[in-house]
Amino acid sequence: MALVPLAAGAVGAVLGLRVRPEQAPTETVQPQTPLLLPPRETAAPRTRPAAPAVTAEPAVTVKPKQRRQIAGDTDAFMAELELLQRAHSAYSRDEFSRALALVREHARRFPSGRLAEEREALRLRSLLGTGRTQRANRTAAAFAVRFPRSVLLPRIHDREGEPK
């Protein structure tokens, strides 16, 4: 309890206020110098400004062609994601050949897809799972060239059979 008046005194010192130690922290403290406020207007009472008119038009207009493109991009991404998830599930079940087949299908359908980096990392892991280390080494080298700033790169270089 002794800290409350001390804390109030410190705050008051910073703000340039006088605080007596016996004052409760809920009391109003008066500043040393009066606040300078602009003179009050005694003329007409203030009125609220008119609210802006609400329109049915959105702030950004999206044309029907753009809507179709956005929907198409979303659909393509979802198809890409679903295929890669199937490949990852096969990899998780140690079905490396099946994972590689799904990765090849992904590369055929989505050569420059948003998940190409993840696809190539899964290809590498699946190749290692099948024991094809030479092919995995070439895939790792190509991955490093194509995705030099990938967050997956350290994990790829830490894999067994990979060049360090």
Are 87 and 103 a contacting pair, CB within 8 Å? yes
Q: Is residue 79 situated within a structural domain?
A: yes
Burial of 64 from C-beta contacts in 10 A (0-12 / 13-18 / 19+): exposed
Domain of 113: which CATH number? 1.25.40.10
Kindly list the averaged pLDDT for each block of 10 residues, start to end, along the chain of length 164. 46 47 53 55 58 55 62 83 96 96 96 93 94 93 92 76 42
What is the pLDDT at residue 13? 46
What is the pLDDT at residue 80? 93
Q: Is residue 43 situated within a structural domain?
A: no
Q: Is residue 147 situated within a structural domain?
A: yes
Q: Is residue 25 situated within a structural domain?
A: no
Q: Report the C-alpha gap between 74 and 71 in whole angstroms.
A: 5
Q: Is residue 1 situated within a structural domain?
A: no
Q: Report the C-alpha gap between 132 and 146 in whole angstroms.
A: 21
What is the pLDDT at residue 144? 92
Q: Is residue 30 situated within a structural domain?
A: no
Parent domain of 120: 64-157
Q: Is residue 55 situated within a structural domain?
A: no
Q: Is residue 89 situated within a structural domain?
A: yes
Between the CA of residue 54 and those of 40, 48, 57, 59, what are the distances in Å?
A: 33, 17, 9, 11
Q: How many domains does one find in the chain? A: 1
